[in-house]
Structure 1
Amino acid sequence: MNSQISYNRAKTWQLICYPAGVLGQKLFMALMMLVSYYAAGIVGLGTVVASLVITGSRFFDGITDPIVGFLIDRSKGKYGKVKPFVISGYIIMSVSTVVMFFTTHLVPSSMKLIYFIIVYAFYILGYTFAAISKWSGLAIITNDPKQRPVLGGIEAAYTTVFLSLFSMYNSLYLVPKYGGFNNPDFFQEMVLTVVGIAGILYALCVAAIWSKDRMENLETKSGSSEKVRVKDMWQVIKGNRALQIFVLSVTSDKLAMQTHSNQVVIVMLYGIIIGNFSMSGQMAMPAIFVNLLMIFFGIKWARKVGTKRGYVAATWGCIITYALLFLLLWLGDPTQIGFDNLGFMTIAFVLLMLLSGAFIFLSTGLVSPLIPDIVDYETYRTGRFVPGIISTTYSFIDKVVSSLAQTVVGLTLAAIGFKAAFPDINTPYSESIFWVTMALYIGTVMVAWIISVIAMKFYPLTKEKMLEIQEELNARHEQSKANHVVTDESKTVSLN
């Protein structure tokens, strides 16, 4: 029976190009993960104020999500639901980040804080446009259960290559060139690089979904074409169990990962505890190959057993490897870690970091296929095709929760004495820095992964359930076509 389902499949080049939009988004995200250094050390806002402003901005980011998601689901324009928001988002992010890093430190001191907040708010609006439309497009570009994990795998592969190259670009090129993070020229070169490369990536994303993102396609291949009302958002949240479990699992992970991957935490781990910040960049190249191997075999396995089971297995891999990593750093001597000292500590650290990173990328790659599955489940459950509401519900809660990450980092470091500026590669080692780093880098993610494993036990969309859903949606589509006859080239008469 499964072979009779008429799937809306994407072409190979579309599967390759659409995730490029995610890479463009991650470029801007990586840039803005360094904004705390700019705001605190160059603009002069201080660590606590800068952290609170960034937290407030992410909370505002979450507030804008329902508005944008609502607009996407109500959009009926000839340019579709995704393309206009992706293009607008890129333009707004580009303009706002260039203005931010080229001008904020030049503004009079009395106006710096309000100026920074306003420019940051414009960036958040553009980021929301691009992010929500990208998530919504996942349900449009393909509904084939075998293609969706592939789409997530390609996204994860892009991400691992990007993060490795970005780490090398940052630690091996920009930091040595400008002497650290307290030079405006550091950020100005980075922002111009990000804007240029992201423009190419977003163009590939738009090209991939261009032919599918048309209203005539969406209204016939998906659910109801009725207008989406504000009250529908609450109905989706209240009635969709899969969405509830997904949000609990993934947002707890996101809060932890935002804290774990904060650039200040990375500097403390590599630059202070290990005493060799350049090693974070040196790890990047081997990480590319290990991550790609894990993604290739992991996604291949997930296609057979289902996205849910693959995600849970990858999360268990994260838990085990990070538990071992903590024991290594706690019981061993981190200063012995380095590629110029290939002893037990270096070999064990490198292996655990590479393996744990690969499991993280695999679990992240399997998040994207879960979202269009939940969109289809909502259509199956209610007959309504609302990718914007599904995407924005996840994104709203995710951003409100993860907005706390910078505040957690800022307040934690202020508590051990770093109130004027964040620790950098020249900060001396201390026991307090070690335990704060362990808590922020390892403790937060361990708690989140345990929550995810428990939550996913109650997630209803198994491989078998998704096959049932696609069969039902396909049957409804065929029935809808059978209930209409074409009387001439311009009119369609319903037999209902």
Structure 2
Amino acid sequence: MSRPRIEGEFSREQYHTAKLWQIAAFALNNTATNIFLFGMGFVTYYTTGVAGLTVMAVSTILALMRVFDSVTDPLIGFIIDKTETKFGKFRPIMVFGNVILILTFLLMFNVIHLFPESLHFIVFVILQFFYIIGYTMQTTVTRAAQTVLTNHPRQRPLFSIFDAIFNLSLFTFGQLYASQYMIGKYGDFTEAYFTELSFTFAAISLLFTVLAVIAIWGKDRKEFYGIEDVNVKTRFRDYWPVLKRNRALQMLVLSAATDKFASMFMNQQVVQVMFFGILIGNFALSGQFGLIILIPSLIVVFYGVRYAQNLGLRRALILFSYIGAISFTILFVLMLVYDTERFALGNWGVLSILFLVLFSLGRAVSMLTPSIVIPMIADVSDYETYESGRYIPGMIAALFSFVDKLVSSTAPFVVGALVALIGFGDEFPTVTDELTTGLLWVGLMTALGFPILGWIISIIAMRFYPLTKEKMAEIQLELNNTKNFILDARDRKMAEESGASMDGETSENDRNDRE
């Protein structure tokens, strides 16, 4: 008995694919969480300026909560691998995670200052605790569900292009909205500023999550869960052996964690204030500049994904890490040598043009490389299935997130510690502060220096990453053959049972006729 092919489902061909709109809309799940990540860059100004907490207290809590965030990943990954409902494996986790995020985000920016001053710190910690749980639920699905979305080597990189476009647009228009429209409307980081910002971000995130759920609806089914009919049992103690054995996971984690560490600095509002507001002397430029470089950045993203489609994700990540590191290194040296205000785009000259080109390249790469990493997690999950026979996307995504967040958790603390060392222990630097030698070095290190370091480590890690384009083709062929073997065995069993049933009915009919 043959198994009919159903359009859009797994067939006996080597790859299963998704429609373009499904890949695009599911990428919005990552954007839905990045909206909150971007918004949390303002929580330092709310908690210190409105709620009255100190810089080091807020920085320390954010760093510790980021560590707690990494600890929740194994739990959520374990839950994903165990989940199998009529609504699928991934959709329920996405929805619950987004609801928790919205509630805690709104409370964090609107109610802390209403409590007695002695409770501000405690309420902030409690809200951060639940915020982290929701954040982990939704972000882990983004990585784990890549395996069911598509396994085609030319389709998986397409997630990167949509993810990069959405996130580049988010951070561009988000920064423009926060630094120009909102500051123009409210004049400073006031209570009303945070109320409007938090409700706007929450509404957009909800819309994006709904679209992502619709996109994965037709793919979140058992026939796409790795090697079908294999009952995988996972335990918490399995996490360490998987990480210890899987070289591809180790190298990808190291590469992505350092990239995230770098991008965390670039997206901190404190860093934006120091770099654009104080060094260059025009904070509004942080939003305007993103708009100016949007098209050039999209060109870099398109070229990067096309390169990944043709030569593989690994080679694309190495190439663009080189581009980012070189461009920011040149810019770092130039801004040490020349007056930083000469790089402002209003003062057109050689330096401002160089700033436009070099910062555009680095910023585009900072958006592209994390987007390339996400479909690579699906490759690592398939590699684990290929090596061990177990389909554990939740565990792979959780291990990735665990180390990734553990490393990147230090970024808010490092920024807080650095600005405290140069005299900003009670409040973060604002656009009204004068440029000092300390602010120059801290601004350059956080905006340019740490990204350079992250890209260098990423390049080294990728040299030891085993999943080349050719290796992934071999893996998908082997997985497909294994799945076909299981399906053929099941079809034979069904045919035998059907034949036995028909023989039984015939014998019963003959016996009745004789009687």
Structure 2 partner of 1:470: 476
Q: Give the structure 1 partner of residue 443 of structure 2.
A: 437
Distance 2:419 2:379 in 1: 40
Shift of 1:339: 3.4
1:1-20 → structure 2 map (5 Å cutoff): 5-20=13-28
Structure 2 counterpart of 1:162: 170
Deviation at 1:451, TM superposition (A): 1.2
SS in structure 1 at match of 2:95: helix
Counterpart amino acid of 1:455? A
Identical pairs, percent? 36
1:355 paired residue among 361, 369, 372: 361
**Which range moves more in the overlay, 58-67 or 4-13?**
4-13
| Matching of residue 194 in structure 1 with residue 206 in structure 2 | no
By how many angstroms is 1:221 displaced? 4.9
Contact kept, 8 Å, 1:223 with 1:385, in 2: the verdict is no
Distance in 2, matches of 1:491 and 1:249, equals 51
Whole-angstrom distance in 2 between the partners of 1:114 and 1:490: 65
Tell me the number of residue pairs that the alignment of Structure 1 and Structure 2 aligns.
Answer: 489
The equivalent position to 2:124 in structure 1, one of 92, 116, 135, is: 116
The verdict on how the C-alpha distance between 1:75 and 1:342 changes in structure 2, with shifts beyond 3 A counting, is: same
1:373-452 map, 5 Å? 373-452=379-458
Q: Is the 2:12–2:484 contact (alpha carbons within 8 Å) kept by the matching residues of 1? A: no
Report the CA distance between 1:87 and its aligned residue.
Answer: 0.3
Higher Cα radius of gyration? 2
Q: How does 1:34-113 map to 2 (within 5 A)?
A: 34-113=42-121
Tell me if structure 1 keeps the 8 A contact 2:38–2:267.
no
Tell me if the contact between 1:69 and 1:389 (Cα under 8 Å) persists in the aligned partners: yes
CA–CA separation in structure 2 for the residues paired with 1:34 and 1:92? 19
8 Å CA contact 1:328–1:349 kept in 2: the answer is: no
Q: Counterpart of 2:324?
A: 318
1:336-357 Cα offsets, whole Å, 9 max, x none, are 2333321222111111111221
Once the two structures are TM-superposed, the CA of residue 76 in structure 1 deviates from its matched residue by 2.0
Amino acid at match of 1:174: M
Aligned-partner Cα distance in 2 for 1:492–1:366: 48
Query: Partners of 1:322 and 1:339 in 2: how far apart?
Result: 17
The equivalences for 1:312-351 within 5 A come to 312-351=318-357
* Equivalent residue letter for 2:114: L
Q: 1:491 deviation in Å?
A: 7.2
> Which range is displaced more, 103-112 or 326-335?
326-335
1:180 to 2:161 alignment = no
- Secondary structure at 1:428's aligned position in 2? coil
State the alpha-carbon separation in 2 of the partners of residues 157 and 30 from structure 1.
15
Q: Distance in 2 between matches of 1:142 and 1:76?
A: 19
One-letter amino acid of the counterpart of residue 176, structure 2: M
Residue 158 of structure 1 deviates from its aligned partner by 1.1
State the shift of 1:219 in Å.
4.7
Task: Please state how far the C-alpha of 1:176 moved relative to its aligned partner.
Answer: 2.0
Q: 2: CA distance between counterparts of 1:253 and 1:301?
A: 20
Change (3 A) 1:400 1:331: same
**Aligned counterpart in structure 2 of residue 129 of structure 1, from 131, 137, 153:** 137
Partner of 1:21: 29
Deviations 1:213-266 (A, max 9, x none): 12x324575583323222222221121110011111111221222123311011
Between the aligned partners of 1:309 and 1:434, the Cα distance in structure 2 is 35
* Aligned counterparts of 1:412 and 1:206: Cα–Cα separation in 2: 41
After superposition, the Cα gap between the structure-2 partners of 1:459 and 1:220, relative to the gap in structure 1 and judged at 3 Å, is closer
The 8 Å contact of residues 259 and 458 in structure 2, kept in 1 or not, is answered as: yes
Of residues 190, 200, 204 in structure 1, which corresponds to 2:211? 204
| In structure 2, C-alpha distance between the alignment counterparts of 1:5 and 1:362, rounded to whole Å | 31
Whether contact under 8 Å (2:259, 2:370) holds in the other structure is no
Q: Answer yes or no: is the 8 Å Cα contact 1:242–1:374 preserved in 2.
A: yes
Structure-2 separation of matches of 1:256 and 1:356: 11
The TM-score with structure 1 as length reference comes to 0.95
Residue 237 in structure 1 maps to residue 205 in structure 2: no
How much has 1:4 moved relative to structure 2? 8.4
In the superposition, the TM-score normalised over structure 2's length comes to: 0.92
What secondary structure does 2:491 align onto?
Answer: strand
| Counterpart-to-counterpart distance in 2, 1:450 and 1:295 | 20
Q: Amino acid of the residue matched to residue 142 of structure 1?
A: T
| 1:32 to partner: Cα distance | 0.7
CA separation of 1:73 and 1:491: change in aligned 2, threshold 3 A: farther
Shift of 1:476: 0.6
Whole-Å separation in 1 of the counterparts to 2:27 and 2:497: 38
**SS of residue paired to 1:424:** coil
Provide the rounded CA distance (Å) in 1 between the counterparts of 2:229 and 2:496: 23
Note closer, same or farther for the CA distance 1:490–1:234 as it changes in structure 2 (3 Å cut): farther
Question: Hey, what's the Cα distance between the residues in 1 that align with 2:142 and 2:150?
Answer: 13
Structure 2: segments with no counterpart, 5+ residues:
1-10, 500-515
Question: 2:251, 2:212 → 1: CA distance?
Answer: 29
Q: 1:104 to 1:490 in 2, by over 3 A?
A: farther
User: Which residue does 2:506 correspond to in 1?
Assistant: none
Q: Which moved more, 1:374-383 or 1:35-44?
A: 35-44
CA contact (8 A) 1:484 1:492 kept: no
Instruction: Give the Å deviation of 1:404.
Output: 0.9
**Take 1:245 and 1:208, find their aligned partners in 2: how far apart are those partners?**
30
Equivalent-residue separation in structure 2 for 1:118 and 1:360 (angstroms): 32
Alignment-derived partner of residue 260 in structure 2: 254
2:279 aligned residue (270, 273, 297): 273
CA distance in structure 1 between the aligned counterparts of 2:18 and 2:187, rounded to whole angstroms? 46
Return the alpha-carbon distance in structure 1 between the equivalents of residues 323 and 199 of structure 2.
Answer: 37
Distance in 1 (alpha carbons) for counterparts of 2:228 and 2:374: 19
Q: Distance in 1 between matches of 2:64 and 2:318?
A: 32
Q: Could you tell me which residue of structure 2 aligns to residue 213 of structure 1?
A: 220
Distance 1:113 1:467, change over 3 A: same
In the alignment, the residues of structure 2 paired with residue 436 and residue 488 of structure 1 have an alpha-carbon distance, to the nearest angstrom, of 68
